[in-house]
């Protein structure tokens, strides 16, 4: 390749440069005896990352050295946690190292989670533990594999540094990659602390780098908000149609670009339980599975309030009023696809509702029956009748669906491409964590690969297909990660 066609890749630091006074410069705190636990080679290739996971990179991703061109900072933000405004938030244990510029000139935040204390750590130790870092790695790659917008994870570094949680655990650092780490809470902070100039700068930053289509419009702040409403509605529809529960939908965990962000006590549903709560500290069920669309709307209202001083309020209200429309349209499209139905009609909507109600009443697994329907010819579906206590109800449903599927070509292809084989299950994740805590990372690598290609059937991934045995009781998951 001629020299002038070789793109130089490097770090940029736009956030540091363009948003002065909104962060603290912090040097990562080295973590004892770092070791590689996982390296995400497919992502490294996507990013055009040139370095193999060698000792220099290991040092940089464990606080022992810095990559040339990076300028680590802790960002300041605020947010509503469980409905209450908290002005004291910010990166308490993660640092934005810099923005990696890939071969196409795209910028990617490199964020090191678990990098030590910052001015925003409050009572925390600034660390992350291996258990929750594995959970974040698995989840972000699983959601990406399913086509759901999400932050990614390039690397996971383990350590024998003890970190106290509900028990003593091993520390770890996760190198998180995202187009941005700007949250709803960033806007809330500048608005509610009266820093209008900084709010305007943040808006300008987002318009230039993240929402260029909104920039040259009569009311760019309102245009940006409208785009955020749409993206968020689509994101939540995707979560709901795949049975994903985030668990801590505080506004500081809501990405401005509609990525799934900040994985904590999340879970994918096993059985379809609409009121399922994955976070055991969420005793009121504020963030239960079936509340996620309402909570997303509530969070968008907080963002609208933060923008109210710099955007037309009528326009903000109009955008909010379209949330349900965006959400419903995308949810029906996605659920329709899972049933093999393209172009969802009014009648198809009742077919989808029938399935959701049937699956709920029968407490069947959220994923497996749909995959089985996808894999089998419609003429063989009768073999599934015995899986339901109300056999005739299921028979009526499958007959209606089979009739509907006859009206379109390639419905099986659509259903197969919309129903994953490998799902991130809490019990499998726990088995992986248990093995890694004993120093065996092989299960993690296998599960990660399966989740990155969730529609692919491979004999060696067979074990990851199994739902939990009826006797399985998940460890309660909490925010203390």
| Residue 261 exposed, middle or buried by CB count within 10 Å (0-12, 13-18, 19+) | buried
Q: Which of 97, 60, 94 is nearest to 76 (CA)?
A: 94
Considering the complex, what minimum distance in angstroms separates the CB of residue 91 from Mg ion? 9
Examine the residue annotation and report whether 252 is marked as an active-site residue of this protein: yes
Q: State the catalytic residue, choosing from 71, 252, 262, 441.
A: 252
Query: Are the CB atoms for 266 and 256 separated by under 8 Å?
Result: no
- Residues in contact with 234: Cβ distance below 8 Å, sequence separation at least 6, in sequence order: 258, 326, 327, 330
Residue with tokens 């393209």, as numbered in its chain: 342
The interface mask with ligand AMP, positions 117-136, x = CB under 6 A, is ---xx--xxxx---------
Q: CA-based Rg of the chain, rounded to a whole angstrom?
A: 23
Task: Tell me which of Mg ion, ligand AMP, none is bound by residue 279, counting a contact when its beta carbon lies within the kind-specific cut-off of 5 to 8 angstroms.
Answer: none
Query: Are the CB atoms for 184 and 251 separated by under 8 Å?
Result: yes
Choose, by CB under 6 A, the member of 31, 38, 89, 177 that binds ligand AMP. 89
Task: Tell me which of ligand AMP, Mg ion, none is bound by residue 90, counting a contact when its beta carbon lies within the kind-specific cut-off of 5 to 8 angstroms.
Answer: ligand AMP
Segment contacting Mg ion by CB under 5 A, of 100-108, 166-174, 188-196, 257-265: 257-265
Nearer to Mg ion, 76 or 371 (CB): 76
Helix, strand, coil percent values for the chain (each to nearest 5)? 45, 15, 40
CA distance 391 to 400: 14
The answer to whether 375 contacts ligand AMP (rule: CB under 6 A) is no
Nearer to Mg ion, 221 or 248 (CB): 248
The answer to whether 181 contacts ligand AMP (rule: CB under 6 A) is no
Considering the complex, what minimum distance in angstroms separates the CB of residue 297 from Mg ion? 20
| Residue 452 exposed, middle or buried by CB count within 10 Å (0-12, 13-18, 19+) | middle
Considering the complex, what minimum distance in angstroms separates the CB of residue 479 from Mg ion? 9
Task: Tell me which of ligand AMP, Mg ion, none is bound by residue 188, counting a contact when its beta carbon lies within the kind-specific cut-off of 5 to 8 angstroms.
Answer: none
Residue 183: strand pairing partners: 255
Task: Tell me which of ligand AMP, Mg ion, none is bound by residue 46, counting a contact when its beta carbon lies within the kind-specific cut-off of 5 to 8 angstroms.
Answer: none
Nearer to ligand AMP, 127 or 367 (CB): 127
Each as own residue / partner, the long-range contacts of residues 352-358 (CB below 8 Å, 24 or more positions apart, any chain) are: 354/397, 354/400, 355/397, 355/401, 356/272, 358/388, 358/390, 358/393, 358/394, 358/397
Query: Are the CB atoms for 221 and 203 separated by under 8 Å?
Result: yes
CA distance 396 to 184: 45
Nearer to Mg ion, 80 or 404 (CB): 80
Task: Tell me which of Mg ion, ligand AMP, none is bound by residue 479, counting a contact when its beta carbon lies within the kind-specific cut-off of 5 to 8 angstroms.
Answer: ligand AMP
Query: For the chain, how long is the longest CA-to-CA vector?
Result: 69
CA distance 411 to 32: 53
Choose, by CB under 6 A, the member of 76, 80, 93, 176 that binds ligand AMP. 93
The sign of the dihedral angle between the CA atoms of 119, 70, 109, 63 is: negative
Query: Are the CB atoms for 421 and 454 separated by under 8 Å?
Result: yes
Choose, by CB under 6 A, the member of 53, 63, 92, 247 that binds ligand AMP. 92
CA distance 151 to 30: 24
Query: By Cβ distance, which residue is nearest to Mg ion?
Result: 262
Distance of CA 220 to the CA centre of its chain: 27
Task: Tell me which of ligand AMP, Mg ion, none is bound by residue 53, counting a contact when its beta carbon lies within the kind-specific cut-off of 5 to 8 angstroms.
Answer: none
Site for ligand AMP in 263-282 (CB under 6 A): 264
Query: 36 to each of 12, 53, 154, 255, how far by Cα in Å?
Result: 26, 8, 12, 28
Nearer to ligand AMP, 81 or 453 (CB): 81
Segment contacting ligand AMP by CB under 6 A, of 9-17, 85-93, 191-199, 448-456: 85-93
The answer to whether 83 contacts ligand AMP (rule: CB under 6 A) is no
DSSP 381: G
Task: Tell me which of Mg ion, ligand AMP, none is bound by residue 293, counting a contact when its beta carbon lies within the kind-specific cut-off of 5 to 8 angstroms.
Answer: none
Query: Are the CB atoms for 332 and 349 separated by under 8 Å?
Result: yes
The answer to whether 91 contacts ligand AMP (rule: CB under 6 A) is yes
Site for Mg ion in 262-301 (CB under 5 A): 262
Nearer to Mg ion, 88 or 347 (CB): 88
| Number of residues forming the site for Mg ion (CB under 5 A) | 2
Choose, by CB under 6 A, the member of 71, 169, 262, 365 that binds ligand AMP. 262
Nearer to ligand AMP, 93 or 238 (CB): 93
Considering the complex, what minimum distance in angstroms separates the CB of residue 431 from ligand AMP? 24
DSSP 273: -
The answer to whether 253 contacts Mg ion (rule: CB under 5 A) is yes
Considering the complex, what minimum distance in angstroms separates the CB of residue 93 from ligand AMP? 4
| Residue 19 exposed, middle or buried by CB count within 10 Å (0-12, 13-18, 19+) | buried
Nearer to ligand AMP, 126 or 369 (CB): 126
Nearer to ligand AMP, 188 or 262 (CB): 262
The sign of the dihedral angle between the CA atoms of 205, 186, 110, 238 is: negative
Q: Which residues contact Mg ion (rule: CB under 5 A)?
A: 253, 262
Which residues are at the interface with ligand AMP (CB under 6 A)? 89-93, 120-121, 124-127, 248, 253, 262, 264, 479
Q: Which residues are known to be catalytic?
A: 252
């Amino acid at each position: 390749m001629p020299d002038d066609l070789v793109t130089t890749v490097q770090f940029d630091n736009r956030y540091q440069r363009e948003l002065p006074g909104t962060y603290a410069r912090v040097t990562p705190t080295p973590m004892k005896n770092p070791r590689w636990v996982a390296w995400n080679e497919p992502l490294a290739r996507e990013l055009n990352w040139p370095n193999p996971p060698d000792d220099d990179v290991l040092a940089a991703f464990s606080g022992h050295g810095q990559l040339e061109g990076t300028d680590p900072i802790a960002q300041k933000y605020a947010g509503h946690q469980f409905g209450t405004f908290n002005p004291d938030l910010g990166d308490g244990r993660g640092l934005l190292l810099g923005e990696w510029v890939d071969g196409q000139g795209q910028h990617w935040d490199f964020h090191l989670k678990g990098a030590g204390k910052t001015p925003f750590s409050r009572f925390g130790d600034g660390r992350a533990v291996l258990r929750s870092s594995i959970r974040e790695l698995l989840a972000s790659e699983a959601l990406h594999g399913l086509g759901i917008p999400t932050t990614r994870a390039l690397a996971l570094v383990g350590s024998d540094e003890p970190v106290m949680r509900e028990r003593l655990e091993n520390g770890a650092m996760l190198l998180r990659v995202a187009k941005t780490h700007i949250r709803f809470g960033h806007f809330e902070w500048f608005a509610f602390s009266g820093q209008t100039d900084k709010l305007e700068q943040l808006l300008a930053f987002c318009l230039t780098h993240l929402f260029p289509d909104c920039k040259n419009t009569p009311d760019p702040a309102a245009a940006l908000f409208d785009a955020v409403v749409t993206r968020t509605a689509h994101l939540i529809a995707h979560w709901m149609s795949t049975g994903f529960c985030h668990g801590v939908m505080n506004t500081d965990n809501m990405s401005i670009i509609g990525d799934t962000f900040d994985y904590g006590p999340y879970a994918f549903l096993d059985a379809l339980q609409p009121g399922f709560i994955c976070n055991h500290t969420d005793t009121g069920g504020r963030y239960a599975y079936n509340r996620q669309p309402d909570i997303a709307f509530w969070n968008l209202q907080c963002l609208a309030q933060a923008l109210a001083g710099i955007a037309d309020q009528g326009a903000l209200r109009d955008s909010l009023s379209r949330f349900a429309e965006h959400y419903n349209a995308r949810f029906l499209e996605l659920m329709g696809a899972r049933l093999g139905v393209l172009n969802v009609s009014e009648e198809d909507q009742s077919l989808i509702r029938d399935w959701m109600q049937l699956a709920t009443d029968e407490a069947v697994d959220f994923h497996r029956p749909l995959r089985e329907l996808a894999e089998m010819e419609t003429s063989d579906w009768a073999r599934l009748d015995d899986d339901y206590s109300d056999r005739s109800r299921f028979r009526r449903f499958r007959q209606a669906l089979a009739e509907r599927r006859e009206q379109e070509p390639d419905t099986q292809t659509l259903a197969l491409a919309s129903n994953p084989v490998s799902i991130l299950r809490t019990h499998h994740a726990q088995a992986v964590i248990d093995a890694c805590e004993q120093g065996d990372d092989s299960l993690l690598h296998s599960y990660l690969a399966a989740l990155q290609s969730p529609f692919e059937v491979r004999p060696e991934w067979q074990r990851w297909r199994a739902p939990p045995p009826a006797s399985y009781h998940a460890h309660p998951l909490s925010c203390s990660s």
